Amino acid sequence: DTEVTQTPKHLVMGMTNKKSLKCEQHMGHRAMYWYKQKAKKPPELMFVYSYEKLSINESVPSRFSPECPNSSLLNLHLHALQPEDSALYLCASSQGDSNQPQHFGDGTRLSIL
Amino acid sequence: AQKVTQAQTEISVVEKEDVTLDCVYETRDTTYYLFWYKQPPSGELVFLIRRNSFDEQNEISGRYSWNFQKSTSSFNFTITASQVVDSAVYFCALSEYGNNFNKFYFGSGTKLNVKP
């Protein structure tokens, strides 16, 4: 079982809907990440939170809005998405050092109708 | 500029064959870290190994072994006596020193198909 839990596992939404992806870890990690992964591609970094502060936003469109309510939780709020946003969204966490591995969740498979 | 190159897009082997997955990286940092991850069809990326730039010892873990060579900027991964369960996409990643988090530069991945 993964130590990073993502919900939901699957999500189908229309372009006008608002939904949220959730990620939770209880390993005491201080860095959390959102990735987008298209088929047959590597994960693409979207956001990094370090000590609950947004450290990296990789020029992600504003229709994706991250939130880190506390050190264990990470949300990704979705609004007015486009069909090309359909992908696997992965959450990861790591200890607060650049030499530590990231631990990934199972991901949310998102389909935009 | 691409920092991690995995030139093998897809490899197919028959069970019990040995297979090596190549990873070449580039960085100007003297301190950096290399990782291998496995991604089965279920989607989760599973951490396999981390190696720092100061430790060039090769490592063996069961059927898995890793060959780190700074002289050629390579960090190759060998699976001995492959099994069907090894079928997955394997990613090599580089992290450079200096943050309170870990920014990965992923290679494009190598899909390994192990046939019975």
Read off the pLDDT of residues B28-48 as tens digits, 9 standing for 90 and up.
Answer: 988 999 999 999 998 899 999
> Is 70 exceeded by the pLDDT of residue B11?
yes
Assess A94–B contact: CB distance below 8 Å, yes or no. Answer: yes
Residues A9-19, mean pLDDT to the nearest whole number = 93
CB atoms within 10 A of CB B98: 11
CB B60 within 8 A of CB B71: no
The whole-number pLDDT of residue B116 equals 95
Query: What band does B2 get if pLDDT is binned at 50, 70 and 90?
Result: low
Distance of CA B12 to the CA centre of its chain: 17
The whole-number pLDDT of residue B58 equals 86
Alpha-carbon distance A16 to nearest alpha carbon in chain B (angstroms) = 27
For residues B98 and A16, which has the higher predicted lDDT (pLDDT)?
A16
CB A26 within 8 A of CB A2: no
Question: In this structure, what token pair is assigned to residue A99?
Answer: 């030499």
Alpha-carbon distance A94 to nearest alpha carbon in chain B (angstroms) = 7
The percent of residues above 70 in pLDDT, for chain B, comes to 98
Query: What band does A75 get if pLDDT is binned at 50, 70 and 90?
Result: very high
Query: Chain-wide mean pLDDT for chain A?
Result: 94
**A chain contacts of residue B43, beta-carbon cutoff 8 Å:** 88, 90, 106-107, 109
Question: In this structure, what token pair is assigned to residue B63?
Answer: 């059927």
Distant-in-sequence, close-in-space partners of B28: CB < 8 Å, separation ≥ 6: none
What number of CA atoms fall less than 13 Å from residue B17's CA on the CB side?
A: 14
